[in-house]
Amino acid sequence: MKLKDKSTIIHNKVERKPFKGKEYLVLKATYDEAVGSDIWYFYFNPETYAMEIYQFYRMDDEGNQKNDTGEYILLTEEETINGMKMPKNRAWYTNKDDKFLGTDILKK
């Protein structure tokens, strides 16, 4: 899920998509085969450009996205650590059935 790595392929088209009733700017990223075959989507608030969600899917043998795989991660709250803003909470869910998997909580 690295965006600045040289093996990252950021697709040129930024789409507007709804997610859970809210509109986002969505950026798609894939990676060189040596890094991995997952498809990642990064959801940005169209007013603040803050990333609020990221999501990934696995690919089938033909290179197509398998919509019943992967997870999405909801980012909430914010902490500043050493001058860098980071999400305080990352809540993980399955794409297939919205099953809650757990939450990572950043503590100072």
Whether the predicted pLDDT of 67 surpasses 70: yes
Domain span at residue 24 reads: 8-105
Q: DSSP readout, 43-79?
A: EE-TTT--EEEEEEEEE-TTS-EEEEEEEEEEEEEEE
| 1 is a domain residue | no
For the chain, what is the domain count?
A: 1
Whether the predicted pLDDT of 1 surpasses 60: no
Q: Are 53 and 64 in contact (CB under 8 A)?
A: no
Query: Could you tell me the two tokens for 20?
Result: 């859970």
| 81 is a domain residue | yes
| 89 is a domain residue | yes
**84 or 96, which is more confident?**
96
Confidence of residue 108 (pLDDT cuts 50, 70, 90): confident
Query: Is the model's pTM score more than 0.85?
Result: yes
Q: What is the CATH number of the domain that holds 38?
A: 2.50.20.10
